[in-house]
Amino acid sequence: MRGRSMVRGYKRLAGAAVSLAVAGTLAAASLVTGAGPAAAAPPVADRGEYLVFYGAGAQAEALSAVKAGGGVAAAVEAKLGYIIARGPRTGFAEALGASPAVVGVTDNRRIGAATAVAAGAGPLTAPLSPAAAEGASAADVSAANASAANPSTVGKAVKAEPLAGRQWDMRMIGATPSGSYAVNRANKKVTVGIIDTGVDGRHPDIAPNFNRALSRNFVTDHPKDPNGKTLDGPCEVKSCKDPADVDDDGHGTHVASTIGSPINGIGVAGVAPDVSLVNIRAGTDSGFFFLKPVLDALTYAGDAGIDVVNMSFFVDPWTFNCTNNPADSKADRLQQAGIVTGVQRALDYARARGVTLISALGNGSTDLGDPTTDKESPGYPLGKERERTIDNSCVNVPAESRGVISVSALGPSKRKAWYSDYGTEQTDLSAPGGDPSDAGTSLKGATREILAAAPTHVLRREKLINAAGKPAGGSVVRECHHGHCSYYQYLSGTSMASPHAAGVAAILVARFGRPGKGGLTLSPSRVEQLLYATATPVSCPASGSTTYSVSEETHTCAGPAAKNGFYGHGLVNAYRAATAKG
């Protein structure tokens, strides 16, 4: 697997375990601990920026370690237990790692110039977490959900959407007019956060369910990497920070559509067609998922009262994070420890506040219970990958993090997709993700993949539609009404599988949730129990393995139908979720 977002047959996505700092220096700021103003940060030229994760109760000791190492503490994020510090570019992480108070050090390096900003742009004047700066108050959350409220459509007749015939994935899980749509589906009091590359909130098949009031973007686009290689390309807006209803990649829009495209007589319908879709952007235009935006997105999800989040990505730059691998330098091990620690803290924070966490399992075609080689890390800077030996102590984040429900991908014949990662410990559920190589079906080519909404400007940029708006090939479908057209794209990946599980989770929250912060709430542990209970058990192949001719690999499935390495607790089932008696 190379892509940062979990998708196959799409452009190659890479990333780094850092968030992006805008051009200029980090201004002096008061620490949130009340310790007084921090010293002015040294010039960017000879200093790097770091996220320093400290142990429980060890904030003061960690601050002392930063100072002793020649660094300056710019801010403290007490919610997740880390310091934003500036220090020497050489040796600083290793010096901090010698302190027992420090459990991880991740570089938060500046990776590119913001070309849409005039030369000599001013400093970053708000160094504290964007989650705090942009976080919605309880009143904001309540008002946003109240304005979007829509009663459940229990028992109402439902007409199939125009492109429903192409949605083999929805038929596989019972999300159809005669299935879950006709019985019970999530309503707009249930919020699903899409932590991804953004969501095209103006797409005709997303707009009715798009919650603009709660949506946030925690990412600043950067045109190039430090070596001058194209990263995000030219900024579309002066600030290089896109509005919260924009997706310049397409990945997040596809995910959002699978979760909750409405039943509106246009295009397709999602698993939960009345859900409230919230863009919580943590991925750049080029598909990088940096650590700091991911931390901010998860923290915001908890503070805003989001019910379910979908995470179709892994945190860069390491496909597998090894905290004690002799193949890595001390600084690399500290960086990976920072990723594992920081993301786990953010996941715990969100889950403790009622957020059910759904993740794509990964596209590495790997048994995650027995990994041996990582050829894709570090994925940043571009072209720095190297082959290293790994073992089961190395983890994919967030798919293998605690409290996360991880989803494998299936093709239209219900065969595990050849690219999908798997593992008896790691696979919790399975869902349709698409597989162009799945010959066990009458479908051909792209139609074996998942069809969902796509931003028009992205398709035009990628030359998938021409100047007149006509699709250039079979991977894109145009659907028009009264002179207005919308577009849909076939994609495959575990990125496409996990949104099906997120949609089913939303149905369960709608059915069994109680009034909570601005809407309905159901504990993540209860949602998890119900997801497993309503899934359709699927046994391993009779031979115990499946040979994939595309990659000439043999993947071995282990475990009973109730829980195995290919299907987990089973195939998610929207109809069973909509009719379960709890």
pLDDT by residue (tens digit) across 441-475? 999 999 999 999 999 999 999 999 999 999 999 99
**DSSP assignment letter at 328:** S
**b/e sequence 455-486, b meaning 16+ C-beta within 10 Å:** bbebbeebebbeeeeebeeebbbebeeeeebb
Mean pLDDT of 110-128: 31
CA distance 411 to 271: 17
Mean pLDDT for the chain overall: 85
Domain assignment of residue 41, yes or no: no
Mean pLDDT of 389-404: 97
Catalytic residue flag (residue 196): yes
Domain assignment of residue 55, yes or no: no
pLDDT digits (tens, 9 = 90+) for 537-558: 999 999 888 888 777 889 999 9
Given the residues 203, 222, 251, 254, select the one marked as catalytic. Answer: 251
Q: Grade residue 141 by pLDDT with cuts at 50, 70 and 90.
A: very low
pLDDT digits (tens, 9 = 90+) for 3-43: 356 664 333 222 222 222 222 222 222 233 333 333 344 44
Domain assignment of residue 70, yes or no: no
The helix (H) or strand (E) run that includes residue 454 is strand 450-454
HSE of 91, CA atoms in CB hemisphere, 13 A? 4
Q: What is the CATH number of the domain that holds 322?
A: 3.40.50.200
Q: What is the CA radius of gyration of the chain?
A: 23
Domain assignment of residue 307, yes or no: yes
Q: Who contacts 482 (Cβ-Cβ below 8 Å, separation ≥6)?
A: none
Which pLDDT does position 305 carry in this prediction? 95
Which pLDDT does position 4 carry in this prediction? 53
Q: Which of 200, 221, 271, 164 has its CA nearest to residue 498?
A: 271
Domain assignment of residue 411, yes or no: yes
CA distance 478 to 267: 9
User: Structural domain of residue 290, as residue ranges?
Assistant: 138-579
Domain assignment of residue 488, yes or no: yes
Between the CA of residue 489 and those of 10, 286, 454, 498, 504, what are the distances in Å? 10, 18, 6, 17, 22
- The two three-digit tokens of residue 262, written as one number: 């409405």
| Dihedrals phi, psi of 157, to nearest 5 degrees | -65, 140
Given the residues 19, 107, 180, 196, select the one marked as catalytic. Answer: 196
CA distance 277 to 256: 7
Which pLDDT does position 186 carry in this prediction? 77
Mean pLDDT of 68-97: 95
Catalytic residue flag (residue 408): no
Q: Grade residue 528 by pLDDT with cuts at 50, 70 and 90.
A: very high
| Across 122-131, 313-322, 481-490, 503-512, least confident range | 122-131
Domain assignment of residue 446, yes or no: yes
CA distance 90 to 73: 17
Q: Grade residue 44 by pLDDT with cuts at 50, 70 and 90.
A: very low
Q: Grade residue 289 by pLDDT with cuts at 50, 70 and 90.
A: very high
HEC assignment per residue over 524-549: HHHHHHHHHHHCECCCCCCCCEEEEC
Contact (Cβ atoms closer than 8 angstroms) between residue 194 and residue 310: yes
Catalytic residue flag (residue 495): yes
**DSSP assignment letter at 9:** S
Residue 523 has pLDDT above 70, yes or no: yes
Q: Which residue has the tokens 């057209």?
A: 485
Percent of the chain scoring above 70 in pLDDT: 84
Domain assignment of residue 24, yes or no: no
Mean pLDDT of 262-287: 96
Which pLDDT does position 121 carry in this prediction? 29
Given the residues 257, 286, 420, 495, select the one marked as catalytic. Answer: 495
The total domain count for the chain is 1
Contact (Cβ atoms closer than 8 angstroms) between residue 1 and residue 362: yes
Q: How many CB atoms neighbour CB 237 within 10 A?
A: 11
DSSP for 253-311?
Answer: HHHHHHHH---SSSS---SSTTPEEEEEE-B-TT--B-HHHHHHHHHHHHHHT-SEEEE
Which pLDDT does position 561 carry in this prediction? 97
